[in-house]
Each structure stands twice: as structure tokens, then as C-alpha cells.
A and B are shown apart, each in its own frame.
Chain A
């Protein structure tokens, strides 16, 4: 028991280094360098403000507080029930994560990685309307107009299957079934099955057709359509939850094709072949693209 604390006394400057302990050099180094570590910093102003807020909300604590608490509890529970029933319901996916969502009218949504979707359950039957950030595939049940709001414009349908992708400054819509109307301010376009359209900077930049064989909801692939290289890389990062350094690559060739879900190696192979690149894995989630030799 006596000897166990000698090291503690030494590092505290109370005694010399114990004779019976080996590796003095290592201990000396530990002592020296550990003192150079930086302490964490605390944003005191912010924390203090938070505390003040809580204080403010708790200030009125007078005697019959049991009744007050009971009343507040009843109210809170009531409100929670109301909130749960009637307010906006939202869903969010992280990278490499997808989510299947069933809307109140049995319409199905496949929310793709790195995206979020919200809608108001209460008003659902007055207005079939969802707000989307990112990418989702919709299989809409027949009925009244169904609207997808995005940062870049609206997508309106009656009952169809379509994919919406809204990232950065582009809105990309693909129609799998039925008719889809894409609009922003006063411009609008209609696309039919096997057509896609791109809305960029307030204008429709591309409208073209493509052979679509599988629905995103049942396919084992991510369908990429007419995407430039940078957008493609961002999609891959989101779909697979990886980081890719492609700073060295300059290309204006667009990509159309299918990328196997949950197989990042194959995906990188496909991209490498298409663009004649080499890739190197730094670790499991980190990759770097370089030009092929001679490029």
C-alpha cells in the first residue's frame, strides 16, 4: 500500500523519483508533455444565458405549487397529445441512410440519404402537400393534387411515381409513371414517364428522356441521370456516407448510370472506369480520386 502512491508523490513534487520503479525516462516525458495539453474552453456567456432562460421560466414558485404543477402537467400532456396529432411531422435521413415513409393517404415515400421531408398531418386531407430538402422517390396514391415543395420550385402531380432531387441550386425531377408538373414562379413544364427535367437558376436547363427499368424503391441501385462530376461525387458522399477528395479532377463529362446500393467499392470502380481515374482509399470512409496515368 505504501509503495503504490510513490509515483503520485513524485509527479506532485513531494518526493524524488522512486528507486524501485523502472522507465524513469518515460515517466519524465509523461510529466513534461502532459502539462502542455490544452484545457477545454467553455462558452460561459452562452451557458449562463441558457441558465437565465430556465430560471425565468421557473421564477414563479409560490406555495400551492403542487396544484400548479398538476395543472401544468395536465396542460402539457393535453398539448403533447394535440401536438402529436395535429402538427407537422418530419423525417430526416443521415448520409448512407434511407427511410420509407407512409403518408396518411397510403402514398409511399422513399427518403434518400442526407434528406428531410415534412408534412402536416392535420391538414393532409385538405391539401396533400409535403416539403422536401434533398432527394426522395414518391409513389403517390390516386387522389387530389399532391404537391412537393422544394427550395427551387414545386412539383405537382395527381397520382404518379416520380423522383425529386433538390440540392445546391438544382431541382432534378424524374417521372416514372403518370404526369408530373414542375413549376417555379411563372414557369412550368410537364414531364411524362421516362422523362426527366432539370430546373437550375430559375430556368429549365434540360428536358430529356431516359430508359427507366426499375423503381428506386425496389431497385438495388441508385439511379444517376445526367449529372456533372461534382454533383455525382456529392451524391456518392451522401448515399454511402463517405468523404471523397476529387479536387484534382477537372472534367465536364456528365454521368448517367446506376450505382449499386451499399457497395462503395463497386461504385468507385464504375466512376473510375467512366472517367478514367484511379482511386485510393485512405481509410474505410475516405477516398481520393486522381487522374489516370497519362491524363
Chain B
């Protein structure tokens, strides 16, 4: 019993550390899915407010899945879908270090643009899986937990995302 009360999310310190730990994850997950930064921020806020309201019934070890469940359930009617706009990190190594000629660089830029556009055309579920893996380096197990489906389902989404991306890129 004593242990339980120690781990109560209602305690400011524990609550703050849970926030510190998962706020970014929820923000990214939501942003990858719907491409709306404002909505993502609101989702983070809403999830944590709900967590606070139910802090007595949610043990710390369940906080993460609770947060993602809330975020997953946020009514999508309220969200205005925006085009997902992604940026590339600056100063990235080239794929082929030995190729410094302008023609290659141009080709590389062109591919990056096409990829960006293709990602924005993915279905939300495919996009969040793809980006959580590619940008955040999450494992399929992590993503399965976040999306609340099986690892198999995530692998399927990933494969579909890849096939879709290839098709989009070739069509652009």
C-alpha cells in the first residue's frame, strides 16, 4: 500500500517527470499523424490535463499508455487537417560522399522534395508509423504500444507506407 501512494501521479514531482518524459512523444505522434502543430500542442495539453484529473486511478507505470489512449481518442472532427510540412535537418551527410558534383546535388534535392510530398500524401496511420520509425527511431514494438495495435499491424502499415511512397515518388 505504501508503495502505491509513493508512485502517485498526483504528486507534483512525479507528474512533472511524466510530462518531461512523454510530452515530446505525444506531440510528435500527433503531428506526424495530422500535420497540425497547434492541434498537436493541444493534444498534449488535453492528455496531461486528463491524466491529472484521473491521477488517483492511473498508476505511474500505466501513465504512458493512458496518455496515448487519450491522445488517440481526441475527436478528429475538431482538427482541421493541414498539409504535413516537414523540414530536413540542415548539414546532413550526402548519401554518396564521393559525389560532390552539382548534378548529383540537384538530383538529391529533387528526391528529397518528392519524398516530402509523398509523405504528406500518406494516410495518417501510415505516416505516423513511418515517421515514428524513421525520425524518432522507435521500434515497431514502441509504435505498436503507442498506436495500441499489434506489432504485426505496425509492420504491415510500414510496408504499405513504403510501397505507397515509392508509387507517389514515381508519379510526381
Residues of A bordering B, CB below 8 Å: 4-9, 11-12, 23, 26-27, 29-40, 42-44, 47-48, 50-51, 54-55, 58
A6 contacts B115, CB within 8 Å? no
A37 contacts B45, CB within 8 Å? no
CB contact between B162 and one of A30, A32, A43, A48 (< 8 Å): that residue: A30
For A4, A40, A43, A47, the residue with the greatest tally of chain B CB atoms inside 10 Å of its CB is A40
Q: Does B165 contact A (CB under 8 A)?
A: yes
Interchain residue pairs with CB less than 8 A apart (18): A8-B154, A8-B156, A11-B133, A12-B140, A23-B170, A29-B115, A30-B162, A33-B95, A36-B112, A37-B86, A39-B28, A40-B37, A42-B24, A44-B19, A44-B20, A47-B45, A51-B49, A58-B52
Give Cα distance in the complex from A14 to B49, angstroms: 39
Give Cα distance in the complex from A9 to B162, angstroms: 11
Tell me the chain B residues, 31-54 only, with Cβ under 8 Å from chain A.
Answer: 31, 37, 40-41, 44-45, 48-49, 52-53
Interface string of B132-156 (1 = CB under 8 A from A): 0111100110000000000010111
Known: A40-B28, A44-B19. A29 touches B136 (CB 8 A): no
Interface residue SS majority, chain B: helix
Known: A40-B27, A44-B19. A12 touches B163 (CB 8 A): no
- Residues of B in contact with A, size category: 35 or more
Q: Does B23 contact A (CB under 8 A)?
A: yes
Residues of A within 8 A of B156 (CB): 4-5, 8
CB contact between B159 and one of A5, A34, A43, A50 (< 8 Å): that residue: A5
| Nearest CB on A from B71, distance (A) | 13
CB contact between A34 and one of B27, B134, B170 (< 8 Å): that residue: B134
Residues of B bordering A, CB below 8 Å: 16, 19-20, 23-24, 27-28, 31, 37, 40-41, 44-45, 48-49, 52-53, 86-89, 92, 95, 111-112, 115-116, 119, 130-131, 133-136, 139-140, 152, 154-156, 158-160, 162-163, 165-166, 169-170
